[in-house]
Amino acid sequence: MGLDCGGRMGQIILVIINIIFMLMGLGLLVPGIALQTNFDFVTDEIKPVLDEIRITGVGLGDVIQNLGIGFIIVGLFVFLVATIGLLGACCKSKCILTIYAIIVLVLLLSQVIVVILWFTMQNTLNSTVKGELTTVLTNNYREDSINGTSQQSNGWNYLFITLKCCGINAVSAGTAGDFQNTPNWSGKGASQKIPTSCCQGVTAESYTASANCTDSVAAGTYYEQGCYDAMIAKFDTSRYSNILLGTGITIIIIELIAIISSILICRGNFDEGNLA
């Protein structure tokens, strides 16, 4: 005996859904690869600075370096799960469909938690990371050098040069910005307000800048953007954040339909010989 009406409908829906899942899984590879490319600024010199910030026990540098890889792994996993669902739907295998439904249910619950945390903790997480970065800069920045005795200072200066930023918060012309609250760093002169690495055109090979930048902090001579905003820009949130969130909610809805469709197929009146 073949599938009843509900079972046939569930089979058709499940096949369509898992084809969409396959495309979504492959689609997650794109932002994963893009993020991995954008985060190439986390070099061996800069990583120790970022790792001073801990997120659930993991250094920020490690989080940034592995975020793109995480998207790639998730994309491949979604593709694999979709393949299992497609196989179960086409073969009408109760065993495969049961395994598929359990996996999708676990994914569904996990994604609901992630979406809730995204809405409730995003602003808190942003402010916490920014505040901790400011604290780390204030406490650990000591030398205006890229090959000095302070590894933290070297890392900060490499970060300023690489991301073309200065301090954590944006520095206003004529002011010392975050460096006003960083008493432990030794400038090259009593009148120096910002480090050489904050000045436009400075490189690791040519680490020199005019007093017009370091002392006067004249507009157009230094990087006016703060490093927190520069790092956030690397996440390209305007392009990926809303897309990923929308995709996540869409996947949750589709997963609910997939679970229901799997149940319909399993409950359908088809031959026991097909109940593998």
Q: What is the pLDDT of residues 25-62, one digit of tens each?
A: 777 777 777 766 766 667 777 777 777 776 656 677 77
- Within 8 A by CB and 6+ apart from 208, the residues are 196, 202
pTM: 0.63
How many residues can be counted in the chain?
Answer: 276
Proportion of the chain above pLDDT 70, given as a percent: 74
In which band, very low, low, confident or very high, does the pLDDT at 123 lie, cut at 50, 70 and 90? Answer: low
**What average pLDDT does range 197-204 have in this prediction?**
93
In angstroms, the CA 258 to CA 195 distance is: 57
What letter does residue 189 receive in the DSSP assignment?
S
Contact 28, 75 (CB under 8 A): yes
**What average pLDDT does range 15-19 have in this prediction?**
84
The pLDDT, as a whole number, for residue 96 is: 83
Q: pLDDT at residue 115 above 90?
A: no
Q: Average pLDDT over the chain, rounded to whole?
A: 78
- Residue whose C-alpha is closest to residue 225's, from 178, 169, 173: 169
- Residue whose C-alpha is closest to residue 22's, from 71, 105, 80, 98: 80
The pLDDT, as a whole number, for residue 234 is: 75
Q: pLDDT at residue 263 above 90?
A: no
In angstroms, the CA 30 to CA 244 distance is: 11
The pLDDT, as a whole number, for residue 4 is: 58
> In the structure encoding, which two tokens stand for residue 61, read together?
């540098």
Q: pLDDT at residue 269 above 50?
A: no
**Amino acid present at 129:** V
Write the pLDDT tens digit of every residue in 228-259.
Answer: 988 888 765 545 566 666 766 777 787 788 88
Least trusted range by pLDDT, from 46-50, 121-125, 157-161, 163-167: 121-125
DSSP letters for 209-270: --HHHHTT--TTSB--S-HHHHHHHHTTHHHHHHHHHHHHHHHHHHHHHHHHHHHHHHHS--
Inter-CA distances, 165 with 41, 58, 108, 230, 276, Å: 13, 25, 40, 7, 61
In angstroms, the CA 97 to CA 81 distance is: 11
The pLDDT, as a whole number, for residue 196 is: 93
- Residue whose C-alpha is closest to residue 135's, from 52, 219, 210, 246: 52
Q: pLDDT at residue 275 above 50?
A: no
- Residue whose C-alpha is closest to residue 61's, from 133, 135, 127, 110: 133
Write the pLDDT tens digit of every residue in 60-86.
Answer: 777 777 777 777 887 888 888 888 888
In angstroms, the CA 10 to CA 117 distance is: 32
The pLDDT, as a whole number, for residue 170 is: 93
| Pairing of β 58-59 and β 54-55 | antiparallel
The larger pLDDT score, comparing residue 68 to residue 138, is at 138
